[in-house]
Structure 1
Amino acid sequence: MGTQNQESLFYDYVRRLEHHRQGREMMHLHLSKLRPFNRREHHIRVAADAFEGLVKELLGQLFVLHNSDIVFIFKMEAMGQVEQALEKVKFLFGDDPLLSEEEVDGHGFTSWFDVETEYDQIVAMARDLVDAQNKAGSLTGPSHDVKANLLAKQEEGEKLTPRTLDRLVEALKAADLTNMVRRQYVCKVEGAQNVPNPYFSELFISISDLRDTLLPGSNLTSSPWLFQHLTETLDRRVLSLLSKTEDRDITGDISINLNVATLLSPEFLKFDENVIAAMRGNIVLELQQLDVFSDLNAYLFAREFVKQRGYRICIDGVNYKTLPFIDRERLEADLIKLIWHPDILLGGHDLTDRVKRHIMLTGPARVILSRCDTEESVEFGREIGIELYQGRHVEALIAEENRRKSMRVLKKRAAAHEKQSGHKKSLSKRT
């Protein structure tokens, strides 16, 4: 079912509940109020996934609305599980101002309704959503703006189905992924001139490049379950690629993003067998915080194995709100990747001091400050002793440093050429 029909499905479902209202609750997550960078398609997919287990157990019904809001109607007996799922979602969006507002006044991100006593209000809400969606549909019809329609269709893309996924997985087996591998450096930034010195490079495969090369016009993230299967397949291909240690493009200290489940797979065991023992210490395994906490026992088991083999572990996706809950030492992680956000400075002295205090507890030398797109992010980090940085500003520093090196080389060559020319002139005079 596509999200474009969810409003109608929600309305129909609510109408069918008219004689079954008792013992049901409705939760409305206002994801549409989140900042734009927090409500991209994969964010909505992960948020919806948090409730999928309850849907499968027939304890509730989920609707992802066109504006990205999520509505979940469930049986009261599942309240505990719903609250746990909600905490996971809040964890995901912890760095958004909307969550701060909810902490202060109790409103903003989540609205709750008792289906039995507030049924008429819910029906009215569902009807309004359908009307609004129908109106929006008529406005964006062919007579209104053909170009906008075409762009929207291209962006939405062909839905990923089991059949197209099979085609993609088959294509992946034969595809040369080396041209799709992207590299972004994690650097130490040193000296008054902010000179970047690469510490390791993160290797990743761009999903958009993969789509454009192997399955143009498709929407690879349209189905959460199929996309999850795709990422696990990608994990296996990346591991296979990295096993070929003779490939010069992927040598040196590197980091790779993997699922916790992949670390427990036969493919990782095979990869481990092919990696020279001395190289394992050069490989950082980046695991998403959400993945780690969704199955902590699996993480602890996987961690024991990979640490014994000599790999390093980095907990990725940590933001300034979730940082206090990440005990790096207890998780026995070597590094934590903290996402930079301007609010760290704009939130006032109390917030800034609190973030600094937690970074000090974590160990500044064990923190990578990521998404450093501005100079102020690096300045903040250096002030409290963070050594490692990643992001667009760091890439710009690398480019600038490379330019300086090239200029120094050219000057040396010019000086050497001038010296050689002078030497030839003096010889010609003698003769």
Structure 2
Amino acid sequence: MRRKLCANFLSKSGFPDKMKHHATKKNAPLSGEEQLLDYARRLKRHRKGRRGVLVRLSRLTRLYRQPHHLRAAREPFARLLRQYEGQIFTLANDDFICVAKGAPLLAFEKALFAVQLMVRDDPAMKQAIENGEEAAFLGHHFDIETEYEGFLSFAQGLAEGKTPDDQLAYDAGKVRQSRQPEKAAPAGRARTEGETSAGDRRETAQAVFLDGLPGGRDPDLDTAQGMLRALQRLDITPFLREWRIALVAAEERPKVVMRRIGFDVEGLRRRLAPSESLPIGSPVRHAIERYMAEKLLEAPDRLLSGEPEGLATIIDFSLWALDLPAFRDWLGRMKKSRRQHLVMALPAGEVLAAPDRYRAERRRLAASGVRLGVRSLAPELAPLFGKGGLPASFLMLEASRMSGDEGGSDRPAFPRQRITELDPARLIWCGDKTTTPRALALGFRLFCRD
């Protein structure tokens, strides 16, 4: 009876309701933003080896943000977390953040690329691909180990109600500002070549890089996924290739001065999907090249066999594979064998898409004696690596991507004046013998041949 009277009294006083409300609020599950902030704070002393990526599904149209789309988009990152310690945080706007310890950047790139393939038919995604901004449109990477304060600030902003776009607006503004052209030349006077702005050159670079092989078009989603699955079951040994790089001088026999180890992407395309094309710059082609770069690390004996003393070796590689633990192990073996004169040739598209990372990797590898070059380069883009531009030990220019002089060509005319300003000692012409006379006339002396 006494307990019942007490219960009635407390019920009428309203005190239990307040207690119940307080307990419910205190014990309510945290939102994804609050969980991320708590996690970020706890990482302060445990940030080593941690990376993260924000997958921005909120940028897609509503049709591609249905529950089954959101679940499918998280699956590649869930597979990543089966190999590495980490966590996924789902935000209120359908975006999510995946953080993992020890996972290389390439692992995050692969997972993000899988999502990109899933949603490539979304109108917003299509527009980003046409603009050459698909990677930045869908994902934003965090190097938590070296940029912890920035990651913590981002998490705090989300917990305070700011959106990812609000948080990243400053970076986007800097990119947009860097792309603004310089002031136009005075009226009545055409802009000279020397007045061409860096912003104009970047826009031209994007246009030329995204312009693939003639008539080329990316495979559709199902075909692309099938090609990547088949690639993992394929013996790629027959597609590894070796080229000789010869110095051609007037009235002298060509002299082999370097060799190049790489892979035949076109041969792989014919094997995996003969009716499809792989335009230079396409996401599928990049994925294949990154996979092949990893496979090259499994064949160190091939890279060293038959090497003449003092002959430099250029190895076709990927910017994102430089972060792999397997590459560091491979590089250690090269040092033990006293291997010198190594040049890792990276796709021009990867370098132009991430110039800051390229510069950082170049500085890091310089201590090991490894140099970085650029391959699959359209001749129109060569001036971007000239004086005041991106540094590169070698530039491998593709004759197949050279625009014609006829007015019918829809590409920019080849900049003869600018190519002569580049150091011919680091220019390598990649083309058949029919293009050799033209290359010689332009000042090329190094030729890559089978």
Name the TM-score, length of structure 2 as normaliser: 0.46
More helix by share: 1
